[in-house]
Chain A
Amino acid sequence: MSSPSDVREKIRKKRRELQESLGRVRDDKQALVPSDWDLSKENEHTAVEELPGGEEDPGETLRRSVMAKRMKKKKKLLKEMAVESPPDEEEVTAVQEMREEQDRGDDVESPPARSPRDLPPRPVIRPGSSQSETTMRLRMTEKLRAAKSKAASLLQQESIIEPTSRLQSLRDRDTLTRFDRNTDPDLQANEDSSFAARLKFRDAARHAAKDKRAEAGLPTAEEAYNFFTFNFDPEPQQQQRYKKKHSRRREAEEEGEGESGEEDEEKEEEEGEEEGELEREHEGEEESEARDEDASLVRDDEEDLFIIDQSAQDFLEVRRAEYIGYSRRLQRERETLFVPSMRPVPASSKLPENVRPRYLEEEGLYVGERPPVCLTNQNILENRILKQAEGRKWFGDDGRIIALPDPIKESSSRPPLFQLEDELDPALQTVYRKALKTKHVNLYIAGMGNPQADYQLDVDVSGLIFSHHPLFSREHVLAARLAQLYDQHLTRQHKNLTGLLTDKLNSLRNTIHNMLELHRGEALSQVAQQRIAEYKQEVRHTRQLRDVEQEKDRALLKTIIRVWKELKALRDFQRFTNTPFKLFMRREKVDREQDEQEFENDIIAEVSELQAEAEEDYQRKMSEYRRQHEEWKSWKRKQKALKKKQKKKIQQEEEEENEESEEELGEEPDKSEPPEKPDMGDLEEQVQEKAARIRRKPGEPVLIPELTLSGPVTPNEQCPRAEFSRREDVAKRSLFIKVLYNDKEVSRTDSRNLNMDFRVHFGQIFNLKIVNWPESIKLQVFESVGSSSSLLAEVCVPVPESSVLTGSALFEEMEFSSNQRVTFNHEGVGSGVPFSFEADGTNTQTLLTSGKLSCCVSWAVGEDDIPLAPPSSQPGGGMYSGLRQMDAIACIGASGLNDMKKLGKWAAESRLDPNDPSNVSIMQLLSVVSGGDVAVPEYFRLEQLQEEFNFQTDEELHRSRRFRLLRLRSQEVPEFRHFKCVPSMERDISEKVFQDYEKRLKEGEVIDTKEHIDAHRALVAKYLQRVRESVINRFLIAKHHFILSDVVSEDEVPSIGVLGWNLFKLAEPKRPLKPRRKERKKVTAQNLSDGDIKLLVNIIRGYDIPVRRPYASKPPASAKSGRSFTEPFTAPVSSQTPQQGSEWPFGQPLIRPFVEVSFQRSVLQTSTAEGPNPCWNEEIVLPFSAPNGDYSSTILQSVKDEVFINIFDEVLYDVVEDERERGNTIHTRIERHWLGSIKIPFSTIYLQSRIDGTFKVSTPPVLLGYNKERSLGSEGGYDAVRSLSEGTFLSLFITIEPQLVPGDTIREKFDSQESERLLIASEVFEKEASRRFPDRPCLTTVIDINGKTVFITRFIRPLNPPQELLDAFPNGPQETTELVARYVSLVPSLPDSVSFAGVCDLWSTCDQFLTLLAGDEEEHAVLLCNYFLSMGKRAWLIIGIAIPEGPTAYVLTYEQNRYLIWNPSTGQHYGQYDTFCPLQTIGCLINSDNVWFNIQPYAAPVRMIFDVSKPNLWKPFFSRSFPDPGLSSVQPEGLVYRHTDRAAAVELQDRIEKVLREKIMEWRPRHPTRWNRYCISTLRQFLPKLELSGGREVAEEHRLELQSLLGEYRISGFPLHLPFSEIRPIIEAVHSTGVHMVEAPNVEFALAVYVHPYPGNVLSVWVYIASLVSAH
């Protein structure tokens, strides 16, 4: 291994040689660094990727093709190079490899990559490199060769064509390739001169380099530059042997940097450089000049630049420290270092010679704003750049450094966020405010930027004159008119139109006369004739005008005189004067003779003219006539000729022919009469008459009216009272004027009193300094009486042109008027009201307040006589013109942007700078529009590219079953909501998938009429369906709204109270004596499956179950005597009871009841107990299965199944036929007789989670064969009413095991039309209520059927019940009340939770309810309450909890000092102290005015006080602090009832009967079903009676009747009563009674149906079903 110095020496030597050899070859190469870069990059690119030429950029290929042609020319040159270089290369490689080994020894892991700087830029190829590399090399060299040849050829061309091209501009030079100068020695010289500065610098560097050899000095820029720009030509042939390690770019560079080679002929210098170079490497420093190249050289990742650091020590030499004297060092530094001057660089040095600076901006090109740079810095930079090679290319044509427009915004576009912590100060919270559009915000005057520009408008308001004012007296009116007329007169006088016209006429006449004189006797030339004719025409016209004017003058004068006379008359009449007006008539004497003469002349002239005209007219008419006459004649002649012809032909031809030929001649021309000769005498008369009318008579003095204000005005004291008060009033008035600029009040005048003459003088000038464009200037006239002022009128003043300046501007009189109606009771005539001058009131006039405002608006003039007007806008442009130029949208509007024509027009008008980058898009758009016939679509699209992004066309999407399925699933259509695994292929999806869905869709359209029986219900069902769908859709949307508690489960912060209570609980006894029911753990519904849920029904005991009536063949003795409505049960029962004991069969108990519970078709029953008050205490467990196995809460909520709890009587019949066997065989048949039932919907159980209580069993009104056990005594007054409610009761406890979590109702806040304040108040109220009494329901707002939140009191409003119901019992108010309640209960009930599964409680208004004929308890309650209110009762709505309904609504009425609670769904009513009242808790009371929440200690009705006026018991919603805002009702004004068609009811009745009969036969598949027609007809007659009585009165009577008729049968049966909604519930009800289950062989059945129609399509259905068993 040789020492580093040896190595260095060698390298230096080789290099020098190489330089020399290459210098000759390459000196012609141009050294334009940037273009070299390009080439080198390209070379690298092609070499590495081994790309064919096709993938190169087009320029390269082009060049290549040229290259190929010129290849030969260059070949020779190349060969030379090839011969020369090989030996050098070898040696260098040796050195290189040696060093590489060192490197590897130092750091094994680092790749053997190498900085391009560590050795002379020489590609080194390791021996044994792969074939691909060599091919790459080959290609590279080939390319190189090609490039050279091409360059040579190009240069040859260039040198001939344009030898001085590079002098033209820097840009030009850039476009030339470096090859241009290859063979251009003469140009080279030029070149060199341009680099003079650089060369100089280099020389300095050379000197420095010599010294530097011994010391480790810094390499200069020059060195670095040279180092990289040396020409070490890679020799293609030999390079194959070398490893490709350095970037190929290097070579490209080298070949490009020929010029440096040329300069580096001195070996010394070379060596110095080398030295410096190496030194620099050791120190790892970089020089700024080399940096550019450096950066890109380093780009190759494989090359590790810093590997050299590790090998640096190997090159270190240890020497003693050298001292260089200060002065010497300074000197040396001066030679080496360059300090750019701070002085500005002369433009000439920045530009190529003989080139003048060119300012693009002056040429109208757009030049962006340059970034601000300190001038000294700029100078330094320029100086520095100029020192560099190619420095000049940094300068633009204008001699300044090329710079891009400043991209930096002046202010940061986004303010810094201070939100460091997660909590943001509420004061800093962003508040959303709707964007407001200010009208004038953008209307600033252009050029407002410069502060000197202040613009001032002067508004001079001088005064105001009323032409009419309400305080005018009659005299004033006349005076005003007089003044007006006089004004008119003066103006006319001033204009003197009549005089003018007369003069004109005279001169015209003279002219004609002269012309005629001139041509007297001679024939007039054509031109003269024409001119005379024209003059005559003119004369005629002028004369007419003059006549009109004269007439007007005269009329005006006459009117003035008349008005003056009227005024005088009025003054006389009223005996006082108000106005100082006085009219004088000045007479001007005229010379009668002359006057008459003139008059005469005038008339003569006129007459003669008229005569001439008339003559002319006559002549014209005459000629016309003659022409016509000629025509007629010729026609006549033709006809005659024709007739002659006809006569000849007449023998042969028929008449038709004749007619035809006659038609050929055409119509007969009118035979016109000759015109009459004008009567000349007449003419003269006319002229005379006219002159008398419109002209002053000759000799009559000229009247000149003069109006003066000299007349005395009667002083106030002498005026009558009315006039006096008028004057007083006038004195009170004052006026002022507001000045509005751009609709903003800027100033106002002082208030001035109204004078007697109704003139106000202001004389104020307002100087307005304006910032915004003047848009409007308005003056508002205000009149004030005392302190109040009113706007009289508004005057718009036009914005003055900028030439209108103060001082020169004229005052303008702006007329104004107002149409206010004002009347007074004094002399003032008022305005806008008719008044009359006549005593009898005829000839009325209506005058409006009006007047003239004299004002002047002008631009102010500054101190130095500069008008303070904004720069003159375009004359037609109006005030926006400044703005328009700047903003396209403001000019043509946003819609106009689509209108290309408009846009183009705008662009042309505003002279857009096409080079301004901000206008690029518009210009592009315009070029597209103007360039081609690109049809601009006539429609507007929001998403223009939507089509391109469409996955498939809509039709395809729709056609594809798979996509349809996917879509329906994502829409959560119920059928597909949980569809699993949609097949991936279209073919795997069967059409059947959609069958159900399509069927449902179709059903939605066509409601099955059979199912619904009558058409109205069908419609209602359809409507309901639609409402349901829309609500469900809303719900689906709402379901995707989450609140925190849905997503995150987090413990509530325990309050102190809870903590304390928990502590207290620790001390609780472990086993309390009275244990309470503990809350069971709730189960979320998701993880449940079939069979997991059980319904537990605990039947505890029954009360008052009807007992059997002994079978009696004869009717009981007691008759229906004295039975009143109030005691329907007690009376007959009391009469029967004594008999019972004796009549019962021996040994038979009173009754053997058992309870059967059926749910979802599974039926279970209790054991049989005995007696009317049995005690079962049994638990029945029924399985529950949800539809489709879906146990989600929404599905569970919508389960419509009901739990039927039926009470039956088990009857044993001895069926032993043979009497002998009775002793040892028991053969009985068990029959069960239905006694009553309770229906509890599953949804109720689910929502309440448990139902516990005693329930009333709904028993049929008539139970054949059964008697009601005597009930407790009921006495007196309303207790009797109460007793009605008594019946059979069952104690039950029902629950679900395990307990299910009922689904939450929607928390979504529905939109509302209520005021925000009310909503907040109601929220607070409800929250407060639930906090204090969590178990008492409180309701203030509800959701109506449209999904809007409505305050609850809006639902309460008196509404009329059907008139028929009111008329039914004219003198029984109680019966009427009950009938109304019954009517309400007949409307079918449909819980919202079922129809709107899991959504919420929707309240419909009464009319909606009656139309839908279905609703919840609330709707029933609201309707009933409204009915009661309209009947004059005091009624409230109760929101409370009842069994079994749960939270519900009842109605409370107050009558006869008692409170009654009505169950609206059943029509039952209870007294306040009724123990069996199903209402358990009362939460709040509601009427139309207020809501009261129950804050009493107890909530059960029995223990409550219903006096809502006591605030300590009832908390009102609207209180003194929050008064009722007066909410209007949502209910309609009144209800309209449709009279129900009785025929339809009969039809329905028949159909129900038919369906039921079929069903009963269907239910008895193994037994024949016989119908007893006789019984049926009896029952059928009976049912209407039942309906009439409400199912009470006639029972006993009916039973007797039946028994008498069907004595030989044992009858058991009963009527069922239902409201009609659908047929299905009826069937269910009939089925649940189990009548059909009688299996006696000789059983017969009877079935009767009666439908009673009520108004509004409410139907009451009675089904009487009975089984008859023959007693024999």
Chain B
Amino acid sequence: MTSNNPSVFLLMVNGQIEAADFPEYDDLYCKYCFVYGHDWAPTSGLEEGISQITSKGRGSQSLVWNFPLDITFKSTNPFGWPQIVVSVYGPDTFGNDVVRGYGAVHIPFTPGKHTKTIPMFVPESTSRLQKFTSWLMGRLPEFTDPKVVAQGEGREVTRVRSQGFVTLQFNIVTKDMKKLGYETTSEHSAATGLTRTSQQL
């Protein structure tokens, strides 16, 4: 498929959901899914996944999943660039599985290795009584659809509380972006890199 006039460009993402930092919680697992626009289609790889449950190490505070991501998208239009939505779950004091955080981030645009840290958040209960009962029943409020966090629509009705971080690593490869007229790397940045080195000398 090495035509000179490509009609789609490809975005290959691999990487991993490395670790999370949830100071208060332990034994968490995460789910991920991708949210992308109409003009995007995954060509290979898993669109959704669920990780193992991981516990904190003795000394460390971070929860390590090292959960691999590997997906390739094709697209005709950068509009609706894919986002990864990560949601973290874990048991509460009563052993009920509750949500511990939602977060989303765009897949990086530029080829290369990127490390992203997403702040996570959970929806808040509507009232104190709700908060108490939901804690008691082990049914904390959740988003009806975790993909909500990748959209702006409807967010105005929610209130959330931030809760921990998840670190992701992406390795991005793109194909034919430039041929279709989309530049994600600028020569400028390369040039400034050079001058910086010269300055260091």
Which residues does A use to contact B, with CB under 8 Å? 48, 130, 132, 422, 966, 969, 978-985, 988, 1040, 1042-1044, 1046-1051, 1053-1054
Known: A979-B38, A1042-B153, A1042-B157. A1047 touches B148 (CB 8 A): yes
Q: Which of B63-104 contact A (CB under 8 A)?
A: 75-77, 79
For B142, what are the chain A residues with a Cβ–Cβ distance below 8 Å? 1048-1050
Chain A residues with Cβ under 8 A from B9's Cβ?
984
CB distance from B124 to the nearest CB of A (A): 8
Q: With A132-B201, A985-B5 given, can you name 18 additional A-B contacts, CB distance below 8 Å?
A: A130-B201, A980-B41, A981-B76, A982-B38, A984-B76, A985-B180, A1042-B153, A1044-B158, A1047-B154, A1047-B158, A1048-B143, A1048-B144, A1048-B157, A1048-B158, A1050-B130, A1050-B141, A1053-B133, A1054-B133
Specify which chain A residues have a CB less than 8 angstroms from the CB of B127 in the assembled complex.
1053
Q: Contact between A1049 and B143 (Cβ–Cβ < 8 Å)?
A: yes
B77 to chain A, nearest CB (A): 6
A966, A979, A1051: the one contacting B133 at CB < 8 Å is A1051
Give Cα A979 to B76, complex, Å.
12
Q: How far is the CB of B43 from chain A (nearest CB, A)?
A: 12
* Contact, CB under 8 Å: B133 / A980: no
A422 proximity list for chain B (CB < 8 A): 159
Q: Does B186 contact A (CB under 8 A)?
A: no
* Interface residue ranges, B against A (CB under 8 Å): 5, 7-9, 38-41, 75-77, 79, 123, 125-127, 129-130, 133-134, 137, 139, 141-144, 148, 153-159, 180, 199, 201
Which B residues touch A980, using CB under 8 A? 38-39, 41
Once the chains bind, are B38 and A978 in contact (CB under 8 Å)?
yes
Contact of A1050 with B125 in the complex, beta carbons under 8 Å: yes
Are A984 and B77 interface neighbours, CB within 8 A?
yes
Q: How far is the CA of A1043 from the CA of B126 in the complex (A)?
A: 12
CB of B39 within 8 A of CB of A1053, answer no
B162 to chain A, nearest CB (A): 13
> How far, in angstroms, from A418 to B39 measured CA to CA in the complex?
47
Q: Across the interface, which residues of B come within 8 angstroms of A979, CB to CB?
A: 38
Q: Across the interface, which residues of B come within 8 angstroms of A982, CB to CB?
A: 38-39, 76-77
From residue A1057, how far is it (CB to closest CB) to chain B in Å? 15
Complex interface: chain A residues within 8 A of B137 (CB): 1051
* Residue pair A1048, B141 in contact (C-beta under 8 Å): yes
Q: Does A1051 lie within 8 Å of B139, measured CB to CB?
A: yes
Q: Is the CB of A1047 within 8 A of B155?
A: yes
Q: What are the residues of chain B within 8 A of A978 when measuring CB–CB? A: 38
Do A1046 and B154 contact each other (CB < 8 Å), given the known contacts A969-B38, A981-B41, A981-B75?
yes
* Of B7, B144, B148, B155, the contact of A988 (CB 8 Å cutoff): B7
Contacting residues, chain A, for B77 (C-beta < 8 A): 966, 981-982, 984
* Residue of B38, B133, B180 touching A981 (CB-CB under 8 A): B38
Shortest distance in angstroms between B73's beta carbon and chain A's nearest beta carbon?
A: 11
Contacts of B139 in A (CB 8 A): 1050-1051
* A984 to B181 alpha-carbon distance, docked (Å): 10
| In the complex, chain B residues whose CB is within 8 Å of the CB of A981 | 8, 38-41, 75-77
Q: CA–CA, A525 to B180, complex, Å?
A: 106
- The contact sample of 26 A-B pairs, CB cut-off 8 A, is A980-B39, A981-B39, A981-B41, A981-B75, A982-B38, A982-B39, A982-B77, A983-B76, A984-B8, A984-B9, A984-B180, A985-B5, A1040-B153, A1042-B157, A1044-B126, A1047-B143, A1048-B142, A1048-B144, A1048-B157, A1049-B141, A1049-B143, A1050-B125, A1050-B126, A1050-B130, A1051-B134, A1053-B127
Chain B residues whose CB sits within 8 angstroms of the CB of A984 once the complex forms: 7-9, 76-77, 180
Distance of A135 from chain B, by nearest CB (Å): 13
Most-contacted residue by chain B among A979, A1042, A1043 (CB, 10 A): A1042
Does A1049 contact B41, Cβ atoms closer than 8 Å?
A: no
C-alpha spacing A1049/B102, complex, angstroms: 14
Query: Which chain A residues lie closer than 8 Å to B180 at the CB level?
Result: 984-985
A980 to B80 Cα, complex, angstroms: 12
Would B7 and A985 count as touching, CB distance under 8 A? yes
Residues from chain A with a CB closer than 8 A to the CB of B8 are: 981, 984
Q: Closest 6 CB pairs between A and B? A: A1042-B154, A1050-B141, A984-B76, A1048-B123, A1051-B139, A1044-B157
If A130-B201, A982-B38, A984-B76 touch, whether A1053 touches B157 (CB-CB below 8 Å) is no
User: Inside 8 A of A48's CB, which chain B residues have their CB?
Assistant: 199
B41 proximity list for chain A (CB < 8 A): 980-981
Q: How far is the CB of A979 from chain B (nearest CB, A)?
A: 7
CB distance from A544 to the nearest CB of B (A): 86
Contact between B141 and A1053, CB atoms less than 8 A apart: no
CA distance A1049 to B201 in the complex (A): 58
Residue of B nearest to A1084 (CB): B144
B157: A residues at CB distance < 8 A: 1042-1044, 1046-1048
Considering the chains assembled together, what is the distance between the CA atoms of A736 and B114 in angstroms?
A: 87
C-alpha gap A847/B150 in the complex (Å): 81
Which partner residue on chain A sits nearest B129 by CB separation?
A1053
Q: How close is A1087's CB to chain B, nearest CB, in angstroms? A: 12
Which of chain A's residues has its CB closest to B130's CB? A1053
CB pair A1047 B144 closer than 8 Å: yes
Q: Cα distance A422–B129 when bound, in Å?
A: 15
A983 vs B38: C-alpha distance when bound (angstroms)? 11
A1048 to B140, CA, bound (A): 10
* Residues in B neighbouring A1042, C-beta threshold 8 A: 153-154, 156-157
Kindly list chain A residues whose C-beta atoms are within 8 Å of the C-beta of B7: 983-985, 988
CB-CB < 8 A to A132: which residues of B? 201
What is the CA–CA distance of A132 and B201 in the complex, to the nearest angstrom? 10
Residues of A within 8 A of B5 (CB): 985
Q: B142 to chain A: closest CB distance in Å?
A: 5
Chain B residues within an 8 Å CB radius of A1050: 123, 125-126, 130, 134, 139, 141-142
Measured CA separation A1053–B76 after assembly (Å): 47
In angstroms, Cα B102 to Cα A1047, docked, is: 13
Contact, CB under 8 Å: A1046 / B129: no
Nearest CB of B to A937, in Å: 35
Closest chain-B Cβ to A611's Cβ sits at a distance in Å of 102
Closest to B79 in A: A966
Which residues does chain A contribute within 8 Å of B125, judged by CB atoms? 1050
B6 — nearest CB in chain A belongs to which residue? A984
In the complex formed, the residue of A with least CB distance to B132 is: A1053
Nearest Cβ on chain B to A977's Cβ, whole angstroms: 9
Bound CA–CA A980/B75 (angstroms): 10
List residues of chain A with CB within 8 A of the CB of B75.
981
Q: How far apart sit A1040 and B153, CA to CA, in the bound complex (Å)? A: 7
Query: With the chains together, A192 CA to B123 CA distance in Å?
Result: 75
Alpha-carbon distance between A1050 and B62 when the two chains are bound, in angstroms: 29
C-alpha gap A1046/B134 in the complex (Å): 18
Residue of A with least CB distance to B123:
A1048
**Among A48, A1040, A1053, residue most surrounded by chain B Cβ atoms (within 10 Å):** A1053
Residues of A close to B134: CB separation below 8 A: 1050-1051
When chains A and B are docked, how far (Å) is the Cα of A1040 from the Cα of B151? 12
| Shortest distance between the CB of A1048 and any CB in chain B (Å) | 5
Q: Which residues of B contact A1047 (CB under 8 A)?
A: 123, 143-144, 148, 154-155, 157-158
For A966, what are the chain B residues with a Cβ–Cβ distance below 8 Å?
77, 79
- Min Cβ gap A1179→B in Å is 35
Closest chain A residue to B182, Cβ basis? A984
Closest to A1043 in B: B157
Closest to A1040 in B: B153
- Taking the nearest CB of chain B, how far is it from the CB of A1232, in angstroms? 50
| Separation of A1608 and B180 alpha carbons in the complex (Å) | 81
Nearest CB in chain B to that of A1039: its residue: B153
Tell me, in angstroms, the Cα distance from A979 to B80 when the chains sit together: 13
In the complex, residue of chain A having the shortest beta-carbon distance to the beta carbon of B161: A422
Expressed in whole angstroms, the Cα–Cα distance for A422 and B137 within the complex equals 24
Closest to A1046 in B: B154
User: What distance in Å separates the Cβ of A1116 from its nearest Cβ neighbour in chain B?
Assistant: 69
A965, B154: Cα distance in complex, Å: 26
Q: Which residues of A contact B153 (CB under 8 A)?
A: 1040, 1042
Which residue of chain A has the shortest Cβ distance to B142 in the bound complex? A1049
User: What separation, in Å, do the CA atoms of A982 and B41 have in the docked complex?
Assistant: 11
Q: Contact: A1049 with B38, CB < 8 Å?
A: no
